[in-house]
Structure 1
Amino acid sequence: MSSNNLTGLGVLRHRSFAFYLAARLLSAVAVQIQSVAIGWQVYALTGDVFDLGLIGLAQFAPFFALILFAGQAADRFDRRRIITVGLAVELLCSLLLLAFTVSGLTVVWPVFAVLVLFGSARAFMMPAQQAILMNLVPQDSFSKAVALSSSSFHVAVIVGPTLGGLLYLAGSKIVYSTVGALLLVSLVLMSLVRATRQARRAEPTSWSAVLEGLRFVWSKPAVLGAISLDLFAVLFGGAVALLPAYARDVLHAGPTGLGLLRTAPAAGAAITAGVLAFRPITRQVGRWMFGGVAVFGLATIALGQTRSFTVALIALFLVGAGDMVSVYIRHILVQFETPDSIRGRVSAVNAVFIGASNELGEFESGLTASWFGLLPAILLGGSATVVVAALWALGFPVLSRMDRFPHAKRDPEQSAGGGGTTEAAATT
């Protein structure tokens, strides 16, 4: 089978990639179902928007502490096994949440403790998940694999919150039982994946090796600009964390309404990713990325100005669509620019930025909402995102003026680094 003939969904003919995609889909559905239940359960117990921010902080703190070491682990050990162990820990977390619920949870600190464990597992999984795609498909199918992987994730984020809201009507016990079952199936599917072409190096653990990814990112202005743009844009525009309070206090909706609101950005992202799988962005990639961030910010501003459920859904849909364009371009850019032997560590740096923008962004949103009020916090975040896009376009002209992805047609052996000399040159 010639990989050059693979188009659209043809990339699924690679069996290991298909298993990986199915495992990613089911685990993402499970996590999204669980996140709706946790947000609603915590807010129902405390009624404090600050606690919604603490949900993000509880996951980010261990993530931030472990992620660089996790990046080195993804370069030294089998990425497939790392993801499999991470899924097993996520399964354990869902079972603990079920046990707390069955016992009659009246305080929220046990939930935060489980989220710390969850964040630790996610820290090790994320670099491996980002780096493994290059080991599952031929390089000329990589952009399609990225789009399909992102699309499957956002399809899960569409199904997950809605299903989570509906399941919560039957009780949180049903929610966590369903999550456990989905994670178990995902774990079995991941065990069937057979990754190839991973360039592993048995180097000792040291601060120099751990920080290799940071040095590489700092040496590449385009990569640094792309991932720092995501950090600050989503850090300020993390309105999704406030949706439990927004649904109940502004739109006067219940758990099902919250599920629909959580679904809308995923729907925008999934549809956009589906389009990108068949019509990849190959020209003016810099303008597309900055345009996606600008749409993300403007849609967040619209969300903060409306009390209409329909308008809120449309705004959140556009939030997801804009974010997907930016994520798609950033992921391809980072992976094409990185030698395989340090791809885990560079992915870890990327994951730090993503984790900071998501979990720390949730904490920032909860904090500003407690200071200024719910809607002013959303408006402030959206405005800050637009400003960040404008500043980064001026500060990183190599990125804003980029027409094509660099090295997109480079030979796979060269892309993988080919040995110590190439790698050393790339990171000095």
Structure 2
Amino acid sequence: MNNNEGPSSSLLQQKGFLWFWLTRLASGFGFQMLSVAVGWQIYALTGNALDLGFIGLAQFLPSLVLALPAGHVADIFARRQIIVVTRISELIAITVLALMSFYQIVDKWIIFGLLVWIGTFKAFEFPAMQSIVPSLVPEKLLPRALALNSSASEMASIVGPALGGFLYIAGADVVYITTALLYFLAVVCMFHVPLPAIKRPRSAASFATVFAGVSFIRKRPVILGVISLDLFAVLLGGATALLPIFARDILHTGPWGLGLLRGAPAVGALLMSFWLAKHVISRHVGMIMFASVAAFGVATLVFSFSQWLWLSLLALALLGAFDMVSMVIRGALVQLETPDEMRGRVSAVNSIFINTSNQLGEFESGVLASLVGAVGAVAIGGVGTLVVVGLWMWWFPELRKRQKLTN
């Protein structure tokens, strides 16, 4: 890993990317606060735990159904404009939530409908957000840019829920109004992001064009390898769904301990993202990525058998840090191996893999824990991650031998 100094290697010189980072930070904080407020409000309104599940479902289903068409849209229209339109559309829904709460006209079905509205536009936002970064920085700065870009999400994940919970004391409308202001700020910042100089050709939507991302990935072992590795590693290695069990029954701590456990992976990921934003991984990228995923599995195993809160926190922080290393390498490889006119559709397929692994990973952990207990479920997941690393190193030798991010 090298640390090259100088104006040409500094992200601070990339004004367009810095404006994009600010819009990512503002909307990230806003969305985390929105999630806290909606959860509290729905549960206070109905007292039904099932309704909390519907909150996630209302946002997940649109992203699953619309992912591929959204990727096609991201490849034929200006991605900055897509992000602006989707953010304004989400801002409208948040404003309606604020007005409903302020005037105490609260109905859970209207809230669910607004969440579907937000989820629909987020489905179009995601591939545009993912595929715009390479056009904002020189190719050699892309890994650093992806790391710093991820830091915005991690900071929002750490601070956003706590801030939303604190503001909720003053009322749900206060949280929604603050969220709306953050989204408005995100829109303003997005207008400072430059439009790309190269115009991409527009093609009519068809089965072939919409599914072109799937065909593209299938023909490229490096991209297929990194995306599928992420899918199965997260699917098997996820321990976050079982954190309440570990906090109460194994570590014998209270809600405050659970909060620390939930925040530990994000803290590790945030610190690693700052380090990766300053250092370039220039050699043995394939083996470093596999080693990071393997270390993720080992950290999961350590957490599963830990009886001490401090060791569990350390294991989760390392888990988040190693995941950040592999995530930056995976993201850079996918973006650099994909031509600009295909990045939206490839990012859309990637989003399906990410959403599926997160959702099914929590389901898998819950089912396995009901059969073998929480410790056994997480331990099996850690071992499974190590097995996946071994198999992928064998099945994708081109990825294992990859020396640099660019060929």
Check whether the contact 2:143–2:329 (CA below 8 A) recurs between aligned residues.
no
Q: Note the 1:208-357 alignment, pairs <5 A.
A: 208-243=208-243, 252-254=253-255, 258-306=258-306, 308-357=308-357
Deviation at 1:349?
Answer: 1.5
SS of 2:194's equivalent? coil
Distance (Å, rounded) in 2 between the aligned partners of 1:390 and 1:402 = 16
Deviation at 1:281?
Answer: 0.9
Deviation at 1:302?
Answer: 3.4
Q: Which moved more, 1:363-372 or 1:181-190?
A: 363-372
Deviation at 1:244?
Answer: 5.9
Give yes or no for the alignment of 1:6 onto 2:4: no
- Partner of residue 406, structure 1: 406
Report the residue type matching 2:275 in the other structure. V
How many residue pairs get aligned? The number is 401
Check whether the contact 1:286–1:401 (CA below 8 A) recurs between aligned residues.
yes
Check whether the contact 1:198–1:340 (CA below 8 A) recurs between aligned residues.
no
Deviation at 1:274?
Answer: 1.3
Check whether the contact 1:52–1:242 (CA below 8 A) recurs between aligned residues.
no
Deviation at 1:223?
Answer: 0.6
Distance (Å, rounded) in 1 between the aligned partners of 2:59 and 2:369 = 20
Q: Note the 1:53-72 alignment, pairs <5 A.
A: 55-72=55-72
Distance (Å, rounded) in 1 between the aligned partners of 2:39 and 2:378 = 18
Deviation at 1:196?
Answer: 1.6
Distance (Å, rounded) in 2 between the aligned partners of 1:192 and 1:140 = 23
- Partner of residue 118, structure 2: 118
Check whether the contact 1:53–1:367 (CA below 8 A) recurs between aligned residues.
no
Deviation at 1:209?
Answer: 0.7
* Percentage of matched positions with identical amino acids: 45
Kindly provide the CA deviation profile for residues 293-327 of structure 1, in whole angstroms up to 9, marking residues without a partner as x. 22223323333444644333222211211111111
Q: Note the 1:370-389 alignment, pairs <5 A.
A: 374-389=374-389
Deviation at 1:227?
Answer: 0.5
Deviation at 1:92?
Answer: 3.8
In 2 relative to 1, CA 242–180 (structure 1 residues): closer, same or farther, beyond 3 Å? Answer: farther
Report the residue type matching 2:189 in the other structure. L
Deviation at 1:91?
Answer: 2.8
Check whether the contact 1:23–1:187 (CA below 8 A) recurs between aligned residues.
yes
Give yes or no for the alignment of 1:136 onto 2:133: no
Deviation at 1:242?
Answer: 4.6
TM-score, structure 1 normalization = 0.81
Report the residue type matching 1:325 in the other structure. V
Check whether the contact 1:57–1:359 (CA below 8 A) recurs between aligned residues.
no
In 2 relative to 1, CA 183–64 (structure 1 residues): closer, same or farther, beyond 3 Å? Answer: same
Distance (Å, rounded) in 1 between the aligned partners of 2:377 and 2:99 = 35
Deviation at 1:125?
Answer: 1.1
Structure 2, gaps ≥5 residues long:
none
Distance (Å, rounded) in 1 between the aligned partners of 2:94 and 2:367 = 27
Check whether the contact 2:82–2:125 (CA below 8 A) recurs between aligned residues.
yes
SS of 2:277's equivalent? helix
Structure 1, gaps ≥5 residues long:
408-428
Deviation at 1:334?
Answer: 0.9
Distance (Å, rounded) in 1 between the aligned partners of 2:55 and 2:394 = 34
In 2 relative to 1, CA 92–362 (structure 1 residues): closer, same or farther, beyond 3 Å? Answer: farther
Check whether the contact 1:60–1:356 (CA below 8 A) recurs between aligned residues.
no
Check whether the contact 1:72–1:345 (CA below 8 A) recurs between aligned residues.
yes
In 2 relative to 1, CA 12–165 (structure 1 residues): closer, same or farther, beyond 3 Å? Answer: same
Report the residue type matching 2:7 in the other structure. L
Q: Which moved more, 1:361-370 or 1:16-25?
A: 361-370
Report the residue type matching 2:161 in the other structure. P
Distance (Å, rounded) in 1 between the aligned partners of 2:171 and 2:385 = 37
- Partner of residue 161, structure 2: 161
SS of 2:161's equivalent? helix
Deviation at 1:230?
Answer: 0.6
In 2 relative to 1, CA 389–163 (structure 1 residues): closer, same or farther, beyond 3 Å? Answer: farther
Distance (Å, rounded) in 1 between the aligned partners of 2:42 and 2:308 = 25
Q: Which moved more, 1:168-177 or 1:57-66?
A: 168-177
Distance (Å, rounded) in 1 between the aligned partners of 2:351 and 2:8 = 29
Check whether the contact 1:16–1:192 (CA below 8 A) recurs between aligned residues.
yes
Distance (Å, rounded) in 1 between the aligned partners of 2:178 and 2:93 = 13
Distance (Å, rounded) in 2 between the aligned partners of 1:357 and 1:342 = 23
Check whether the contact 1:234–1:357 (CA below 8 A) recurs between aligned residues.
yes
